[in-house]
Structure 1
């Protein structure tokens, strides 16, 4: 196929040899299958902020650092330069998270390079060598659902132990590779210790997994892994091999009405985002 303009610099630099085909067009990026020597990889071309639907919400960008004080001031003021810097920081967040999680042994695509808003990374393949499907495109038996659910809980714990919360984990951004699920799409990943919303996002991520796989294995719907995982993390007792029970006794006390209202608003936002992904 004809080389898209955004991929031309990578071709000129020798980072890719040919563009095979477009793999997908998402709300945040276009993804292409490319050839790099003898290897088949994928190139994720990020859309400009005005072209994508995912909001750079304050909840996600809270406490993200910038090394340049001039950039930080411009981003705070919302100047043109600041918006460009914020866009670059948003894109590099996924790159940083991928390298961090890959080093921690989390099942994410291996990143290879990042240039001019294009992320070059591993093409996640199924058992036949074709591009792996998303979970929402696959039907499971109850036993398969339980197995994949358990695998992904381990990955969520491994991510948290590495200090990262995905923040938007669902069946729409997990691929089913030949050897099991692989987590993708991390531009909204947050720092577990530095973001005040990390707990809520972790609980939502785990609840999304429960609800999806619970559609195939209803016994999973009665589990409560999210609060258990976060409580262990807060106590400093969470390790990658910590046994989990799926049960958690919630502490009693006065209800935080503001938090309840916030949860309702977040649920509405999540449903809106889900509907957009399904279009």
Structure 2
């Protein structure tokens, strides 16, 4: 195939040896299958901001820390340099997340490096050696759906324990290899502690994944993993190795009825006193 312009510098520098074919074009990147020596890899070519259709990017970038204060100031001002740095930050976020999650035991493609807006990483394969399918393209037995759903909930737990929320998780960005699900597409991953949108993003991630597996095992729709996960996170009791249950019951704090009645009485007395003052104003 004709070499895409963004991949030509990597060919020139010997980082890749051949571009085999285009795999897909998504909302934030195009992906190609390439050869690096004897290894077949993925090359993810990020689109620039003008082409990228990922919505509400600012919500995902909230809480991300820039090591360089100069870069951070430029990004805030929106200068040409700042926009360039914002793009670099968006791209490096996925590389950082992949390395961090792989170290935390989350199944993600192995990253090899990011060069001029091109991420080189492992090509996830199926049992026949072909490109692994997305969850959206396969059907599962009820038993496998229950097993893989539990695997995904534990993966989300490990992500959260590592301080990250995927932010855009669904059956369209999880691949299925012979061992099970592999999570992909992480440029929008958010800091669970620093991003004010982290909780609803986590809930949406869990709900999307649960809705998919519930197509094959309907009882999964009744689980409450998002509430369980966030409660553990907020309480500081998140252990990446614990087994989740999907059951959540937040016991309401016991109501002090006497205290409530006292407050009602005090408010009533104050209202009566106010009326008395209005009827008999002092001289």
Q: Fold match, TM over 0.5?
A: yes
CA offset at residue 70 of structure 1? Answer: 2.2
Distance 1:83 1:21 in 2: 31
Which residue in 1 is equivalent to 2:235?
Answer: 235
Within 5 Å, give how 1:201-220 maps onto structure 2.
201-220=201-220
Contact 1:35 1:41 in 2 (8 A): yes
Which residue in 2 is equivalent to 1:46?
Answer: 46
SS of the counterpart of 1:41?
Answer: strand
CA offset at residue 68 of structure 1? Answer: 2.1
Which residue in 2 is equivalent to 1:270?
Answer: none
Distance 2:50 2:250 in 1: 42
CA offset at residue 14 of structure 1? Answer: 1.4
1:16 lines up with 2:16 in the alignment? yes
Moved more, 238-247 or 44-53: 238-247
Contact 2:173 2:184 in 1 (8 A): yes
SS of the counterpart of 1:247?
Answer: coil
Which residue in 1 is equivalent to 2:75?
Answer: 75
CA offset at residue 242 of structure 1? Answer: 1.3
Which residue in 2 is equivalent to 1:150?
Answer: 150
Distance 1:116 1:252 in 2: 53
Which residue in 1 is equivalent to 2:273?
Answer: none
Which residue in 2 is equivalent to 1:162?
Answer: 162
SS of the counterpart of 2:245?
Answer: coil
User: Which of structure 1's runs of 4+ aligned residues deviate more than 4 A?
Assistant: 250-253
Within 5 Å, give how 1:57-96 maps onto structure 2.
57-96=57-96
Distance 1:49 1:252 in 2: 46
Distance 1:105 1:243 in 2: 15
Deviations 1:138-157 (A, max 9, x none): 11111111111011111111
Which residue in 1 is equivalent to 2:223?
Answer: 223
Distance 1:230 1:16 in 2: 42
SS of the counterpart of 1:98?
Answer: helix
Larger Rg: 2
Moved more, 169-178 or 190-199: 190-199
Which residue in 2 is equivalent to 1:267?
Answer: none
SS of the counterpart of 1:249?
Answer: coil
Which residue in 2 is equivalent to 1:133?
Answer: 133
* CA RMSD across the alignment: 1.4
Q: Which structure 2 residue ranges, 5 or more long, are not aligned?
A: 254-283
Question: What TM-score comes out, normalization by structure 2 length?
Answer: 0.86
Question: What TM-score comes out, normalization by structure 1 length?
Answer: 0.87
Q: Which structure 1 residue ranges, 5 or more long, are not aligned?
A: 254-279
Contact 1:42 1:123 in 2 (8 A): yes
Which residue in 2 is equivalent to 1:263?
Answer: none
Deviations 1:151-175 (A, max 9, x none): 1111111111111110111101000
Distance 1:149 1:165 in 2: 17
SS of the counterpart of 1:172?
Answer: coil
Deviations 1:50-92 (A, max 9, x none): 1121035322111111122222122112222211111111111
Distance 1:62 1:70 in 2: 18
Distance 1:231 1:52 in 2: 34
CA offset at residue 105 of structure 1? Answer: 1.6
Instruction: Report how many residues are paired.
Output: 253
Which residue in 1 is equivalent to 2:279?
Answer: none
Distance 1:74 1:236 in 2: 35
